Structure 1
Amino acid sequence: MLLLPMLFERFPNMTLPDPASVRWHGFGFRGPLNLPVRLQ
């Protein structure tokens, strides 16, 4: 998976302003339905 390392490299100051607002889905392959981040 190359997307996440590239994203973190491009936006090193990326933050998750409200972790409680992330909605999760799934059991075996659990993942976020949304991921509201702030890019700087």
Structure 2
Amino acid sequence: MRRLILRGSVSQKLFYKRLIDLADKRYDEHVSELEKKHG
């Protein structure tokens, strides 16, 4: 049972990490678009 919980938390961490990476990527793309328009 405990091993199952540990595995769940690990996959949750990976999920959040992917979510954050995606958000960072989209933010970077957004910023570079703004720089193209204003720069």
Per the normalisation by structure 2, the TM-score is 0.26
Pick the structure with more helix per residue.
Answer: 2
Per the normalisation by structure 1, the TM-score is 0.26
Specify the structure having the higher radius of gyration (Cα). Answer: 2
Pick the structure with more strand per residue.
Answer: 1
